Amino acid sequence: DTEVTQTPKHLVMGMTNKKSLKCEQHMGHRAMYWYKQKAKKPPELMFVYSYEKLSINESVPSRFSPECPNSSLLNLHLHALQPEDSALYLCASSPQVVLPTNYYEQYFGPGTRLTVT
Amino acid sequence: QKEVEQNSGPLSVPEGAIASLNCTYSDRVSQSFFWYRQYSGKSPELIMSIYSNGDKEDGRFTAQLNKASQYVSLLIRDSQPSDSATYLCAVGDYNQGGKLIFGQGTELSVKP
């Protein structure tokens, strides 16, 4: 089973709202990722959590705040977003265990389509 | 700046033909290579991973890796209209905490 779930599927929010995106995996993966994807572009990495600790922040604006409550859950808190933040937000996970074959294979969730008005 | 390059396409092939998708990468120390398929409006789906030189086959898909030439390819045999999607090449580096560098993607169209 390589399922990553994300809620909500769609989100419309105003620039003054606060909302959160949620991601969950039950594959025992120890790394989780947030990506942002604009139309006709590849996914753009935002954050990486490895063993529940933030290991990579790709200089993301502070209006995006990640949280990893436990090894299965990943949240992305949104506040004071701009219309240009409208995009598909993808969560992914990877095993991150000491095996040469699938160490960094990343499995994506279905995404949250975010529209900022 | 580490780069992964793909032809953006669109690549159009007739149903039943072999589709060949190519990718080059700039970082010689890259160790892991992936192909993702992304249908319009959906998320990327991992279809192949390859770690050593040579060919790796899975059903109608074959991934080929040549580290000396810094080249990775994906062949799709007996292409079907359902294979029409954007194919993303991704390259990983263990020294970068598992970060993947994505190419821009190649749009494949399989015509009935």
State pLDDT tens for residues A26-58. Answer: 999 989 999 999 999 999 999 999 989 999 999
Q: B59 pLDDT exceeds 90?
A: yes
Nearest to A13 by CA among A104, A79, A103, A107: A79
At B61-88, the pLDDT tens digits run 999 999 999 999 999 999 999 999 999 9
Q: What is the pLDDT of residue A100?
A: 53
Q: What is the pLDDT of residue B93?
A: 74
How many other C-beta atoms can be found within 10 angstroms of the C-beta atom of residue A62?
Answer: 7
Least confidently predicted of A86-100, B14-28, B64-78:
A86-100
Q: Which residues of A fall within a CB distance of 8 Å from B45?
A: 108
Q: What is the pLDDT of residue A103?
A: 66
DSSP B59: T
Average pLDDT of B17-42? 94
At A53, the amino acid letter reads K
| Distance, CA of B87 to CA of B89 (rounded, Å) | 7
Under the banding of pLDDT at 50, 70 and 90, the label for residue A11 is very high
At A74, the amino acid letter reads L
- The kind and range of the H/E element at B3 are none
Q: Which residues of A fall within a CB distance of 8 Å from B34?
A: 105-106
How many contacts, defined by CB atoms under 8 Å, are there between A and B?
Answer: 58
| Interchain CB distance below 8 Å, B94 and A43 | no
Q: How many helices (H) and strands (E) does chain B have?
A: 0, 11
| CB distance B76 to B101 below 8 Å | no
Q: Is B102 on the interface with A (CB under 8 A)?
A: yes
Q: What is the pLDDT of residue B1?
A: 73
Q: A65 pLDDT exceeds 90?
A: yes
Mean pLDDT over each residue of chain B, to the nearest integer: 94
| Distance, CA of A94 to CA of A25 (rounded, Å) | 10
| Distance, CA of A32 to CA of A5 (rounded, Å) | 12
Under the banding of pLDDT at 50, 70 and 90, the label for residue B13 is very high
At A75-90, the pLDDT tens digits run 999 999 999 999 999 9
Under the banding of pLDDT at 50, 70 and 90, the label for residue B29 is confident
Percent of chain A at pLDDT exceeding 70: 92
Under the banding of pLDDT at 50, 70 and 90, the label for residue B98 is confident
| Interchain CB distance below 8 Å, A90 and B99 | no
Q: Which residues of B fall within a CB distance of 8 Å from A94?
A: 98
Cα B2 to Cα A18, A20, A61, A95, distances in angstroms:
35, 32, 23, 24
Under the banding of pLDDT at 50, 70 and 90, the label for residue A99 is low
At A82, the amino acid letter reads Q
User: In b/e form, how buried is each residue of B7-30, taking b as 16+ CB within 10 angstroms?
Assistant: eeeebebeeeeebebbbbbebeeb
Average pLDDT of B1-29? 92
How many other C-beta atoms can be found within 10 angstroms of the C-beta atom of residue B81?
Answer: 10
Q: What is the pLDDT of residue A98?
A: 53
Q: B6 pLDDT exceeds 60?
A: yes
